[in-house]
Amino acid sequence: MFQKHKKEAKKFFVMIGKYLLITFLILGNLLSGFPFVPEQATAQPGNPGNKIIPKIIDADIYHTVGIKSDGSGTAVGRSDRGQLNVGQWTDLVEVAAGLTHTVGLKSDGTVVATGNNGDGQTEVGDWTDIVQVDAGSYHTVGLKSDGTVVAVGQNVFGQIDVDDWTDIVQISAGNYHTVGLKSDGTVVAVGNDEYDDPYDIPIDVDDWTDIVQIEAGAEHTIGLKSDGTVVRAGYHEYIYQVNGWTDIVQIAAGKRHTVGLKSDGTVLRTEVAFEDLGDVSWWSDIVRIRAGYDNTIGVRNDGKIFVAYHTGTDSYGRSNITNWTVKTFVPKSPPDIITPGVQEVGSQVTLSWSDVEDWGYGEDTREYHLQLYDGSSWRDLARNLTSTSWTGNLPGDVHTSKARVRVQAETEYGASAYTKSDTFRIGPPVPPYDLVYPTVSNEEKVIIEGKAEEDVTVEIDNGDITVNGTPDENGNFAIEVPLRTNQENTLILKAAVNGFESDPVSITVTHDDIPPAPPAIDVEKEGWTNDDHVTVTIEEGTDHESGIERTEYRLDEGEWQTYSDPFTVDSEGETLVTARSVDVAGNQSDETIQMIQIDRTPPTAPTINLSPEGWTNEEQVTVTIEDGTEDLSGVSHTEYRIGEGDWEVYEGPFTVDEEGETTITARTIDEVGHVGAETEKTVQIDWTPPAAPTINLDPEGWTNEEQVTVTIEDGTEDLSGVSHTEYRVGEGDWQVYEGPFTVQEEGETTITARTVDNVGYVGAEAEKTVQIDWMQPKAPTINLDPEGWTNEEQVTVTIEDGVVGTSGVQKTMFKIGEDGQEEEYTGSFTITDEGETKIYAYTVNNAGVKGEIKEVTVQINRNRPNIILKGDNPISLEVGDDYVDPGAEAYDDIDGDITDSIVIDDRLVDPLRLGNYEVIYTVTDSAGNIAQKKRIINVMDTTKPDITLNGPNPVTVEVGDHYDDEGATAWDNYDGDLTEDIEIVNEVDTENIGTYNVTYRVMDSSGNIETAQRTVHVVDTTPPSIILKGDNPLTIHYGESYEEPGYEVVDRSGEQLNDQVEVSGELDTETIGEYTLTYNVKDSSGNRARAVTRTVHVVDQDHPEITLHEGDSIRLEVGQDYIEPGATAYDDYDGDLTNEIDISGK
């Protein structure tokens, strides 16, 4: 669709070149590998490069417009002035968005416009030969192919005074100014220059040179220089933000922000006029940028659209444009590429792929680029391919199981993304490697582990046994292989895939399952010993097959250890040494054992038994002694002594009969001579009773404590000592005193105590009296004014003493809050804190008894409840729909959920009339705090009108006939009948066969637009007729060539069909006869004419020739007989006719 536009632009550039000798150079340092700017030139002094880049998408503050992939228009945003009415536009190559109007450039160089025409800005219907358009706030500018510029619309600041411009190659329109780029790289501009600061003037561009692209923002102008840097005029406060930009290949200008596209496909943007314009730093592979009022748009090379805009301003559908599919500059990727099978190294292969469905804007160059992945990196196979297949040899150095091929489409506008094949193999697999296996085993099967390529099968041969397995996704394999018993096994490993096999790998595994003979254990000293250690030596067993790998030993049930040298055992007691030999195959011998006996510990002390034990008042005590224990070598004998007397061998019991304490000492000796520890026991004899005990009370005397603690000190006993002390409470039973006890009975209680010694003598008694008085006062009364929840400034608290017994009130104490400080109550006080405040109080009597605690709560709440509206606010309600209130919830800090107390006032809402209404929600909490909220109801009409076509759809019309459209009716849910407002676009041409659309469009009072189409098929069903020229029938002389007299075909569509007439039938001009030729033809609609025929007579029109012998005159004498000399006859068709001669005459 862009073909005519491109041809005109090329003619223009050729004309410019004749005068300025422009040499276009590719911006190698800026555009290497970057797809969107075709033939972008490097500007040399006096020879700048420039190229019109069509705006496939454009935006202003209220709307965004774009070109769909089929060349039609699409738009989102506000449509109050009809600026979105672009859906019926076709064959678009560029669009531009003004403040409230939209402009489109068609492929034939004409221009369409819609929207606000208050200043004539959409009056472009007579424009022709246009190669670029742009729109300011209230004016429209067009660049013609001859380098001149036309403009319409508002001219308050002279922004359309462009009639004298020439040699212009690009244009751009700001709010109130217009800029043009000349072919020599300089810039001209007209429009608003009324600024207090001259540096804010957006048309101050007279000194610019070497410019390859221009862009006019709302109040500033930017230019892209050939070296990839950017210059800026107007709104000078932010000029510095582009001063450091480099490597820029495209620019765009918005309200006051500037956007730059770098050669690597990333985007830069200044941030000036708004706090947040959205994030563009993450964008990549961008090929086209545009800047609206407060938004930035990027188009990726696959047509994907990105948009970033000022937060909170997406009321104009900006986010919706990300779903658009626009015409891409670069081609789409090939849909698929066929994956080849397994290939030999360096073999010839044919690769094929599907053709590109959309080549984008590129027309001059359409080629493919083919690459191969060699297992580590991509390398070129072929470039500049024009067909969808390639045959050639694979590189001879590529041997991999991870080969892939990929293809991309390329035009002068750049390259598509790659389309990749699946992986395939080149060359045979590598042998298995990194093998892990036992060289000797006693198992019937062993596991062979290793690594191989992922797609192969690993085969292992062991004589007549073959097993196989496959590696996992990481290339690891583990395969179980049976072994031939008690012999050496040679295993052959190889990798195979699709008939390819790797080189073999050989390994050896020996099988041995016969255990070796047991080892021998030799010890330095047998039997019990008191040495520090015993040395142990082990001689390994013998093995017949794989050989001894190691001999192991362990002590008792400990861990097995490998024997290498003699070792010592120094553990006391009996230590069992166990040994065994293990061969290389892992077979274990029978075990050998040897006991080591070491005793370095004396026996324990003996046990002395007294009868009776402890203090006694018996006349004598009998003494018996039990030997100390000796767990190792055993006991030899036990000795004893009395007091400090001599040691004697104990042979049996003996007696002691002295009063007081007598010490008996004993010891045991073991078999290896160790003397054990000594034991002592004291014989105790006592015949004297103890003294009276001492009773202590805490507290002493009368007390108001809940209890009195009683402690008793034993009476003295100088010999056998105290056995225990007994007590009784009142006249109760005697109890053994075991520790302090308490008395908790009010009144006087007598405590009596006595001491008993260890031989049973009872001592004298002692007495003490316990005195308790603990009647508790009642709780005080706490009064609040006011009571319950209140929103008053304060609450007054008064306290009345609690009721007490006969001792009377000492004081009343109170505190504020659980953690408050206790104070003595002296008079009323106030609470002002909001929330719940606890007051605690109790009364104390004169006996010091603390009374019951009284607790009350002061409740103050001055916070209003919170109303939470359910659903949206505001609510958009379609006109005519019933209003159903979504409801609300109310919560109070104290009362909690008070939703049921909400009062809703929605009396003013009228769903049948467009407008904005309020719904009032009111709620009051228990403390009297009132809250209120409003919900806005917008009654609006968003329903499109309904268009009903009159008559059939589609309609078929005979070519050449007149088409009368039957029209349509329109009805709107709010406006009612809109039939008279329908706009009809009738493009039907009945003089030409084809399919046409009649478009019906209507808009209601709310701006809702509906369209409908009727399809009209102009067809040709009338067969053509054939008129023969010349004679019919036609006679020719045999032998003459046949020359067709001609014919004429008449078809209703006017189609020229003479060259398509089919002539059939046989005609032999060398044979006389009657022949028939048949003429027939079919038009492009498939209508076949009625056949006509021509009869051709081939005849012989020449007479035979007779030749008389001897001439035509003979002289005879009278009477002489006449003898006929004869004649011959010949005909050109029949040949010799001599025999057919008939002679007659007299």
Identify the CATH number of the domain in which residue 503 sits: 2.60.40.10
Q: By C-alpha distance, which of 556, 555, 679, 571 is closest to 632? A: 571
Considering the domain architecture, whether residues 653 and 790 belong to the same structural domain is answered as no
Q: Same domain, yes or no, for 497 and 616?
A: no
pLDDT at 44: 24
Give the rounded distance of the alpha carbon of 89 from its chain centre.
Answer: 38
- Indicate which CATH number applies to the domain containing 98: 2.130.10.30
Residue-range definition of the domain harbouring residue 374: 348-426
Phi, psi of 227 (to 5 degrees): -90, 10
55 and 132: one domain?
yes
Is the confidence at residue 42, as pLDDT, over 50? Answer: no
User: Is 95 in the same domain as 209?
Assistant: yes
Shared domain check, 586 and 524: yes
Q: Identify the top-confidence range among 9-23, 430-444, 538-552, 833-847.
A: 430-444
Residue 749 is assigned to a structural domain of this protein: yes
Q: In this predicted model, what pLDDT tens digit does every residue of 89-106 receive, in sequence order?
A: 999 999 999 999 999 999
Model confidence at 34: pLDDT above 80 = no
Dist. CA 589–CA 581, nearest whole Å = 5
Identify the band that residue 1022 occupies on the pLDDT scale cut at 50, 70 and 90.
confident
User: What's the mean pLDDT in 1058-1069?
Assistant: 89
* CATH code of the domain containing 587: 2.60.40
**Closest of 275, 316, 362, 270 to residue 97, by C-alpha:** 316
Question: Of 959, 988, 1019, which closes a domain?
Answer: 1019
Q: Can you give the pLDDT at residue 18? A: 30
Residue 452 inside a domain? The answer is: yes
Q: Which tens digits make up the pLDDT trace of 1114-1125?
A: 887 888 777 888
For residues 67 and 149, membership in a common domain is answered with: yes
- How many domains does the chain contain in total? 11
Asked if residue 724 belongs to a domain, the reply is yes
Is pLDDT of 1065 > 50?
A: yes
31 and 156 share a domain? yes
629 with 587, same domain: the answer is: no
Task: Please indicate, yes or no, if residue 279 is contained in any of the structural domains.
Answer: no
Q: In degrees rounded to 5, what are phi and psi of residue 367? A: -135, 170
Within this chain, do residues 132 and 234 fall inside the same structural domain, yes or no? yes
Half-sphere exposure for 440 (CA within 13 Å, toward CB): 15
Tell me if 323 is assigned to some domain.
no
Last residue of a domain, one of 746, 772, 798: 772
* Percent of the chain clearing pLDDT 90 (strictly above): 56
3-state secondary structure of 61: coil
In whole angstroms, give the CA distance from residue 531 to residue 249: 97
Same domain, 613 and 663: yes
Do 846 and 901 fall within a single domain?
Answer: no
Confidence band (pLDDT; 50, 70, 90) for 240? low
Q: Does residue 737 belong to any structural domain of this protein?
A: yes
Over residues 113-123, the mean pLDDT reads: 95
pLDDT beyond 80 at 782: yes
Mean pLDDT for 201-214 is 94
Can you give the three-state secondary structure of 420-479, one letter per residue?
ECCCEEECCCCCCEEEECCCEECCCEEEEEEECCCCCEEEEEECCEEEEECCCCCCEEEE
Q: Looking at the domain assignment, is residue 327 inside a domain?
A: no
The mean of the pLDDT values for the chain is 87
**Domain end point (choices 511, 539, 557):** 511
Residue 1002, in any domain of the structure:
yes
Would you state the pLDDT for residue 237?
64
d(CA 836, CA 784): 13
Structure token pair of residue 552: 């192991």
227 and 114 in one domain? yes
Specify the pLDDT at position 529: 85
* CA dist., res. 96 & res. 110, Å (int): 14
What is the Cα–Cα distance from 144 to 8, expressed in whole angstroms?
A: 9
